[in-house]
């Protein structure tokens, strides 16, 4: 009888251990599935994210709650540290170091002095984390980062981010639809070319169409992630910047700097005589276009099925 009781207790204890191990394994699996990167900014705000790219200037990431959404860019200077999903922590801001004060042990009163121990080695100072200096760009400067190449055509106020334009250009129609099949795709935003690209993508999906039906958009999209056909106001700003920031007078030096950056890196100079298609449509028949010359009119409407120049842009 006593042996049966002992055997039952042993069996129960073994089963409990196996159950606990299974629960721990399941919990680890859940935690792993929910793993995410945590970006902590210098102002202590936190961003739950999936980091996709780190450069000396910026960190690119997608929000953890929307992994298929847009890619965001955060300057390295605004980041304190990143806690990665595997538990590793990378600091981007050097911590303040306080010099160590050597400790001198007190000798009790009346106690015979003891032979001095070997001198302690001086504490080894750890090297401060590398500090990256964010680059400031200029209009007309060649941009080459992580395989992305173009010429800077728009800048933010801090000159660290902006827009680049493709080195090449091509003659293409905005869309292939003609009478009686003219249609409005909904790409009516004047300032957000990427937004127009998303509207065209939705229109294609809803109407069982293909990107081949929108050649100008397809050419920009085929350049890779982030490239798009600029909106009309973006193209107008590019035209002003190409001419030195104004079209009131001719600035050949600014244009030459811009064109040299294109040509010297295997691209083609901007055309001042031919209109460029924007992604902004006027109606079912026409889309807005502009040129880079100094003489108005700067904006005219052209049938979408006609072939005009196309350049792609990308944010950085």
Q: Please tell me the distance from the alpha carbon of residue 303 to that of residue 309, in angstroms, as a whole number.
A: 13
pLDDT value, residue 41:
85
pTM: 0.60
**Overall CATH class of domain 37-91:** mainly beta
Rg of the chain taking only CA atoms, in angstroms: 31
The ranges of the chain with pLDDT < 70 are 1-35, 69, 94-133
Q: Please tell me the distance from the alpha carbon of residue 303 to that of residue 284, in angstroms, as a whole number.
A: 9
pLDDT value, residue 107:
47
CA angle 178, 181, 182 (to 5 degrees): 65
Q: Which one, of 71, 48, 68, 49, lies nearest residue 194 by Cα?
A: 71
pLDDT value, residue 9:
44
Q: CB atoms < 10 A from the CB of 177, how many?
A: 18
Q: Please tell me the distance from the alpha carbon of residue 79 to that of residue 272, in angstroms, as a whole number.
A: 42
Domain boundaries, the chain: 37-91, 142-315
């Amino acid at each position: 009888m006593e042996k049966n009781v002992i055997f039952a207790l042993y069996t129960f204890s073994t089963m409990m251990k196996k159950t606990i191990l299974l629960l721990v394994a399941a919990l680890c699996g859940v935690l792993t599935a929910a793993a995410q990167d945590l970006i902590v900014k210098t102002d202590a705000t936190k961003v739950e994210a999936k980091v996709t790219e780190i450069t000396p200037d910026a960190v690119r990431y997608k929000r953890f709650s929307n992994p298929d959404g847009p890619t965001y860019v955060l300057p390295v200077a605004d980041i304190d540290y990143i806690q990665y999903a595997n538990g590793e922590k990378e600091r981007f801001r050097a911590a303040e170091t306080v010099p160590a004060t050597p400790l001198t042990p007190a000798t009790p009163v009346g106690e015979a002095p003891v032979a001095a121990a070997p001198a302690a080695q001086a504490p080894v100072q750890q090297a401060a984390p590398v500090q990256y200096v964010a680059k400031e760009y200029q209009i007309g400067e060649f941009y080459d980062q992580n395989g992305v190449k173009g010429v800077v055509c728009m800048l933010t106020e801090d000159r660290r981010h902006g827009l680049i334009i493709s080195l090449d250009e091509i003659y293409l129609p905005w869309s292939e639809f003609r009478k009686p099949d003219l249609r409005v795709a909904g790409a009516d935003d004047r300032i957000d070319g990427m937004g127009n690209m998303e509207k065209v993508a939705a229109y294609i999906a809803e109407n069982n169409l293909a990107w081949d039906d929108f050649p100008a958009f397809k050419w920009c999209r085929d350049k890779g992630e982030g490239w798009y056909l600029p909106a009309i106001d973006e193209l107008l700003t590019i035209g002003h910047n190409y001419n030195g920031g104004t079209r009131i007078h001719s600035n050949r030096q600014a244009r030459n700097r811009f064109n040299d950056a294109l040509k010297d890196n295997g691209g083609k100079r901007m055309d001042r005589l031919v209109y460029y298609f924007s992604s902004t449509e006027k109606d079912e028949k026409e889309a807005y276009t502009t040129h880079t010359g100094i003489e108005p009119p700067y904006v005219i409407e052209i049938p979408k099925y006609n072939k005009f120049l196309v350049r792609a842009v990308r944010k950085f």
